[in-house]
Structure 1
C-alpha cells in the first residue's frame, strides 16, 4: 500500500488520500479537518510525528502508540464479558482426546485398494438403512404472497420455496402454535424466524431466540412489527450455549422448538446436543454434564423415563417440543462433535472411517459444483450468507477421487451414501433419547442440492399441547 501516486487518479474530495493497493482504490474514510489522511493512515502525513503501531488485539488495524491503553479499553476486538448462558464446551461432545483421530492423509493419496476397502465398509454399514427418503415437499400460506411476487429473482424464489416447505413441515408436526420459544440455530439474517413470525401473526406468547456466532448485517428480525412476539439474538457459538440459562427461558419456561435452514456441518450436531442434552437433560439441576449414554434398545425406556422426569420437573423446565433442521455441508462434520459416534461404532466404524466418509460426502454434490457456481451471480452469493451448499474446497472436488477409478455417477452415489450414513447416526441419537426422528426430502434438488430435512418430535409426547389463550 502506498500514498497517492501519478497514474492512480485522485482521491475523492473530503476523503483519505491513502491508496489501498490491495483494493486498487483510495481509502474512503473521512480525515480530520485540515488533514489529508484518516486516523488509520495518519502516519503518511509528513508533519505527523506520532507513531502508529499494530493493535495487539487485532494487527489488521493500527493505533497511536501514545493512545494504546485507551484504545485497548474500547477496541472492537477486545474480549467481551461472557453472557450468563455461555458455558465452555457444554455441547462439544467428545472429551477423551485419545479417541480423537490424528490428521489423515487426503483421499487422493489413498491407493486404489484402500479406497475400495472404504467403499466396501460404507456399503456394509449402510445395509438395512432406508436408502430412498420420502418426499415431503410442502408449502405454507404465510409465504404465498412473497412466492407470487414477480419482483423476487430466482435466488430469492429458491430461498422462499425452502422456507415455505420448512414451515409446511412444522405445521404438519403441530409445532406452529402459541406458548413456544423458537430457537433458530445459525440464524444469519433471521429470515426463517421472520416467516415463522408471519405465520403466527395471530398467536400470542411466542418468543424467538436467534443463535448466531457472527455479527450479521441486514438482519430482518429487527423489522417485525408485531408487539406480542419478541426477537432476541444470542451472539454465541452453539458449542458453548446453555439454553436453560437464557434469561427469557428461565422466566417464561416455554417449550422449545429448534429450527435451522442449512445448518452447516458440525453445527447440526452441536445444536442437537444443545437441545437434547444441555437443555432437556439439565432441567432438573445445575449439572451441565451430558446425559449418560444409552444402548440402542433403550428407546421405550428412555421415552418413559423422560416423561417421568418431565412430570417431576414441570414447574422448573419444559423440554423440547420439536426439531426441524435443513441439513448441510456434511464435509464439515467433525468426529469430536458428532452425535452418532455410538452408531458408527455399532456397525464397526470409527473416527478414521468417519474422517474419510465426511470428505467423500461432498461427492454427492461436487459433480454439479462448477455448473452451480457459474450460474450464481455475486449478488446470489452475498444476499444469503447462510447458504453453504457452494462452499467447497479443492479437497472435496472431483480431483480427490482418484481419477479413472470411479465414474461421476459412482462418486455421486457414494457421496449420497456417506451423507445418509452420517445422518442416520443423528437419527439414532435422537431415537435413543425418546424422539421420533425422520429424514425426508423437503425440496427439489433443482432448488437446492442440500435438500434433506431432519424432523424430530417427542415420542410419546413429553409436553402437553399448548392451549390457546
Structure 2
C-alpha cells in the first residue's frame, strides 16, 4: 500500500501523502521538487507551469483553453496590436526585461556612470517636471459615495473612494465631465437630455477594470449609460451586478489583455462618444491603454470610422513603474532627446520601486529633494569609500531612495503625458491624491480638443 502513495511525509497529519506518485518519481505532482523534473510555462496561459511530460495532455484540458479559443474568434482580438515595437537594430531583444536583469544592469555600472545617471535624472526632473501640480479634487457630484449614501450593498473603502473621486474631479476640472448630468440623472431626465449636458459623453471604457468600482461611481454620479470593462482576469465581488441594476444602463465586459484589444472593432462602441479611464494601470498597461485609444493600428481598408474620433477624454492613474518595458513605452523619442538610452530607461524603471521605501505620512513630501550620495562630479570614492554601485545603493538613505524613485516615476509619466498631447489632446500630469492616501498618485488627464 505504501508503494502506491506519494512518499512525502505530512508532519501535521503524521502520515504520508495519500496521492498517487508521478512515475518515475516517488512523489505526487504537489510534492515533486522542481529540481527532479522539468517544469515549463503552459503555452495557453503562461501564468502557470506544467510538467514537461504532462504537457501534451494538459493543453487539451487547460482551464484557459475554451476562453482562449473563444477570444480568438472575437473581431476585436488582434494579437499584439498595442504592444509597440522593438528597436529595429536589436533583432534578439527580449520581450520582457525582468527586475533582476534591470538590477544587474545597474550594478554593472561604474561609479562614474552611476553618478552621471543620477545627475541626469535630477537635471531632467528639474527642467521637465518641476511644474507638476497637486490636484486633489473631490467633486460635489461624488457626495453620494463620499457620505456612504449607497442604495446597493457595495464594498466601501475610503482610500479607494477618495482616489476614484479625485480622478473624476480632475476630469470635471478639465471640462470633460459635467456635474449637471448628475443632477439631471436624479431628476430622471431623458438620455438625450442627459448626454447633451454631459459634453455628449454617454459611455465609459475602463481599462484594467478589476471589479469595476471606478465605473460604478461614474454611473452613479454622472449618469453614464453605456459601460465597457476591459480586464484580462476574473474577479469576485465585481460591480457588474449593481451596475446592471441601474435602469437603462448597458454593460459589456471584455475579458482580454489590453495589448490585444482593437478598440475600433468593438461594434457596440462605434459612433458613441466615450471616456477612457483606468485606476492604477500597472507598468506597461498604461502605455498599452494610451496606444489602444490613440494609436493608428487599425484596418485602413475597413471603411469604418476610427474609434479615436469619438474619444472625449482620458484619465489614467499610473502604477508599478518598475514593470515598464522599453518596447511598450509610448514616447521613446522624448527620452532619447533627453539623452536617456534604453539601458538608462531600464535603470530608471528599477529605481521607481524605491518610491515606496519610506514612510509617506509626514517624513517625505511629494516634492522630496534627492540628496544622493553620488555627487554630480562623480567623486563617489572620496565620499563613501565605495568600491561598487551595489555598495552605494546599500548605503543610500531610505528618504533619498524614495525621492529618486518619485523623480523617475515623474519622468516616465511626463513622457507619456507629452505623447498624449502630441496626439492632439489637451493634457496634463498631476498628483491627484496625497501620498499618505496612495504613493502611486500620478494621474494623466486629457481632453479632446
Q: Is the shorter-chain TM-score for this pair beyond 0.5, marking a shared fold?
A: yes
Is 2:370 the counterpart of 1:352?
no
Over residues 392-442 of structure 1, what are the superposed CA-to-partner deviations in whole Å (9 max), with x where a residue is unaligned? Answer: xxxxxx9896223x3333222222211111111112211211111101111
Whether the 8 Å contact between 2:176 and 2:313 is mirrored in structure 1 is yes
Whether the 8 Å contact between 1:364 and 1:411 is mirrored in structure 2 is yes
Q: Decide which of 9, 13, 18 is 1:8's aligned counterpart.
A: 13
**CA apart distance, 1:285:** 4.3
Over residues 282-320 of structure 1, what are the superposed CA-to-partner deviations in whole Å (9 max), with x where a residue is unaligned? Answer: 486449xxxxxxxxxxxxxxxxxxxxxxxxx87987332
Give ranges in structure 2 of 5+ residues lacking alignment: 1-5, 21-28, 31-41, 178-197, 363-388
Q: Decide which of 276, 280, 284 is 1:262's aligned counterpart.
A: 280
Query: Which position in structure 2 is the counterpart of 1:403?
Result: 394
**CA apart distance, 1:72:** 6.9
Mean alpha-carbon deviation: is it higher for 98-107 or for 230-239? 98-107
Over residues 339-397 of structure 1, what are the superposed CA-to-partner deviations in whole Å (9 max), with x where a residue is unaligned? Answer: 1101011112221110001111222222349x9xxxxxxxxxxxxxxxxxxxxxxxxxx
| Aligned CA distance change for structure 1 residues 231 and 355 (closer, same or farther; 3 Å) | same
Question: Separation in 2 of the partners of 1:316 and 1:56?
Answer: 32
Query: Which position in structure 2 is the counterpart of 1:172?
Result: 173
Over residues 160-208 of structure 1, what are the superposed CA-to-partner deviations in whole Å (9 max), with x where a residue is unaligned? Answer: 111111121222233333543211111001110111110134x6xx311
Question: Separation in 1 of the partners of 2:10 and 2:126?
Answer: 68
**CA apart distance, 1:221:** 2.0
Is 2:411 the counterpart of 1:449?
no
Query: Which position in structure 2 is the counterpart of 1:32?
Result: none
Paired residues, number = 357
SS of 2:437 mapped into structure 1? coil
Question: Separation in 2 of the partners of 1:191 and 1:148?
Answer: 16
| Aligned CA distance change for structure 1 residues 126 and 286 (closer, same or farther; 3 Å) | farther
**CA apart distance, 1:73:** 6.3
Question: Separation in 2 of the partners of 1:402 and 1:110?
Answer: 12
| Aligned CA distance change for structure 1 residues 316 and 271 (closer, same or farther; 3 Å) | closer
Whether the 8 Å contact between 1:2 and 1:19 is mirrored in structure 2 is no
Query: Which position in structure 1 is the counterpart of 2:367?
Result: none
Alignment map for 1:153-302 (pairs within 5 Å)? 156-176=157-177, 177=198, 178-201=200-223, 206-224=225-243, 225-250=245-270, 253-278=271-296, 282=298, 285-286=301-302
Is 2:63 the counterpart of 1:76?
yes
| Aligned CA distance change for structure 1 residues 173 and 150 (closer, same or farther; 3 Å) | closer
Question: Separation in 1 of the partners of 2:50 and 2:262?
Answer: 34
Query: Which position in structure 1 is the counterpart of 2:373?
Result: none
| Aligned CA distance change for structure 1 residues 149 and 407 (closer, same or farther; 3 Å) | same
Is 2:417 the counterpart of 1:427?
yes
| Aligned CA distance change for structure 1 residues 415 and 153 (closer, same or farther; 3 Å) | farther
| Aligned CA distance change for structure 1 residues 155 and 106 (closer, same or farther; 3 Å) | farther
SS of 1:362 mapped into structure 2? helix
Question: Separation in 1 of the partners of 2:392 and 2:230?
Answer: 36
Q: Decide which of 438, 441, 449 is 2:428's aligned counterpart.
A: 438
Whether the 8 Å contact between 2:205 and 2:276 is mirrored in structure 1 is yes
Query: Which position in structure 2 is the counterpart of 1:391?
Result: none
Question: Separation in 1 of the partners of 2:442 and 2:10?
Answer: 54
Give ranges in structure 1 of 5+ residues lacking alignment: 11-16, 21-39, 42-54, 288-312, 372-397, 462-469
Whether the 8 Å contact between 2:357 and 2:398 is mirrored in structure 1 is no
Question: Separation in 1 of the partners of 2:313 and 2:211?
Answer: 22
Question: Separation in 2 of the partners of 1:139 and 1:229?
Answer: 25
Question: Separation in 1 of the partners of 2:391 and 2:162?
Answer: 33
SS of 2:394 mapped into structure 1? coil
